[in-house]
Structure 1
Amino acid sequence: MNKNIAIDGPAGSGKSTIAKIIGERLNLMYINTGAMYRAITLKALRENISYTSVDKLEKLIEGTELYFEDDQLFMDGENISQEIILPETSNNVSNYAAVPKVRRMLVKKMQDMAKKFDVIMDGRDIGTVVLKDAEFKFFLSASAEERANRRFNEYKNNGVEVDYNELLEDIKRRDHIDSTRETDPLAKADDAIEIDSTKLTIDEVVEKIMNYVNK
């Protein structure tokens, strides 16, 4: 059985950064599942396909090639790692990710990866749906204000001008959509270890997780 680690949490909780570091330390393939949803959102927006057009979304996903290379996400041969973190994609991804058909198709892709490789995945429903039998499960949380501040600094460091209050409202809106959607809502798995990262540095969270894994 492959070694699998699941890390879940709301937007801006630090899942991706931390999962990437853990993956490097333990020699696991890091799969950013949120980036996969963002990729489909980006392509749908480019092609003016609404999240309500399920049939068109199904065909879009069937015709899309996604793969990770050196922590960069490629879609149909194009490196989209920077474009998928821009506000337009971020503000729309929860709507597309809430579509049951979209989730089923992408979850299947994720599970196929986990069967072939030792992986660490982060997302909203990894411990509850995608990797229900993962050896280790973690749920990262943080206050909405702290998560908005992290996103603000992330955009600022990438030269993107954004308004903090708008980011905070978007975080709260995404939390509501993610936790109340009908299919695979954001939730902590019963056997997951919860870590509140509000007052912790990235290194401190990493060490907490490594301590659990090494036990």
Structure 2
Amino acid sequence: MSATQTIPVITIDGPTASGKGTIAHLVAERLGWHTLDSGALYRLTALACLRQGLDTELESEVERVAAGLDIRFQHPAVFLAGQDVSEAIRQEQVGNLASQVAAMPGVRAALLQRQRDFRIAPGLVGDGRDMGTVVFPDAPLKIFLLADAQVRAERRCKQLSEKGISANLASLLADLRARDARDKNRTHAPLVPAQDAHIVDSSKLSIDETVNIVLDLWSGVSFPTA
């Protein structure tokens, strides 16, 4: 076992708006660990492409942008080229484009090691779509977080409304279903649970209940530290 592999990782994968980021942050906070929002890397790539006016059909150009991202995470803020883009990367246009560029093998390869570099002591909680299958396949605890599409759309609509952003529930639901289909059916690193992942359906669970399920599962893990 390498020195890096002695650092524990909990992966939380799942579809768009399933609550991965919120749960990952709260679990990490309870454990005193670091977090990795892998989706933010793809959103940052998408935002950078939009701001540069690039043709995102050209994978080589998108890959170049991904490889050269000037980013900094300073929770809760996210910086791109020194500018706070925490709100900008959460826009639906950016999210939809992020789902498209995330299907590009070259882009995923460009961001792979950058994600793995977040594995630092005392531990990491990483959320995304391929954390347990590709990025950290040796993670001692893997969660696949589900929620009904209607529930996810309602949660997203509520989040946007609370931020003063107008949102249409029917449109959000259609976007979520389209992104789900794209994520599940892409050839490279599709959205699927790792074989050893624990499936958690949060449709009828509160945030605290979901966090406690993850922590209870972690408490039952025997993880070597040397």
TM category, shorter: over 0.9
Q: What are the superposed Cα offsets for residues 33-72 of structure 1, whole Å, 9 maximum, x if unpaired? A: 0111101101101112133212212222232122211232
Q: How does 1:151-170 map to 2 (within 5 A)?
A: 151-170=156-175
Separation in structure 1 between the aligned mates of residue 122 and residue 62 of structure 2, nearest angstrom: 28
Residue-by-residue CA offset, 1:136-157 (whole Å, 9 max, x unaligned): 1000001100000011001101
How many residues align? The count is 215
d(CA) in 1 for partners of 2:96, 2:7: 35
What pairs up with 1:138-177 in 2 under 5 angstroms? 138-177=143-182
SS of residue paired to 2:66: helix
User: Which string of whole-angstrom CA distances, capped at 9 and with x for unpartnered residues, describes residues 113-154 of structure 1?
Assistant: 226762110000000000000111000001100000011001
Which deviates further from its counterpart, 118-127 or 65-74? 65-74
Q: Is the 8 A contact 2:62 2:101 kept in 1?
A: no
AA of the residue aligned to 2:173: L
Match of 1:209 among 206, 209, 214: 214
The C-alpha deviation readout for 1:21-42, integer Å capped at 9, x for no partner, is: 0011111111100111101101
- Aligned to 2:193, the other structure's residue is in SS state coil
Moved over 6 A (4+): none
Report the CA distance between 1:77 and its aligned residue. Answer: 1.4
Cα distance in 1 for residues equivalent to 2:60 and 2:120: 28
Q: Distance in 2 between matches of 1:25 and 1:155?
A: 26
Q: CA RMSD in A?
A: 1.2
Letter in 2 for 1:180: N
Q: Which residue of 2 aligns with 1:24?
A: 29
Counterpart code for 2:206: T
Distance 1:62 1:211 in 2: 37
CA distance in 2, matches of 1:10, 1:21: 18
Decide whether aligned partners of structure 1 residues 7 and 35 sit closer, same or farther in structure 2, where only a CA change above 3 A counts: same
Q: What percentage of residue pairs aligned between the two structures are identical? A: 36
Counterpart Cα distance in 2 of 1:15 and 1:144:
14
Which has the larger displacement, 113-122 or 195-204? 113-122
Q: CA deviation at 1:19?
A: 0.2
2:201 matches 1:196:
yes
- Uncovered stretches (5+) of structure 2, i.e. residues with no partner: 1-5, 221-226
Distance in 2 separating the partners of 1:50 and 1:141: 33
Aligned match for 1:94, one of 90, 99, 124: 99
Q: 1:62, 1:94 → 2: CA distance?
A: 17
Q: 8 Å contact 2:26–2:211 — kept in the other structure?
A: yes
Partners of 2:60 and 2:106 within 8 A in 1: no
**Comparing 77-86 and 170-179, the one that deviates more:** 77-86
User: Equivalents in 1 of 2:185, 2:167: separation in Å?
Assistant: 27
- Higher deviation after alignment, 186-195 or 54-63: 54-63
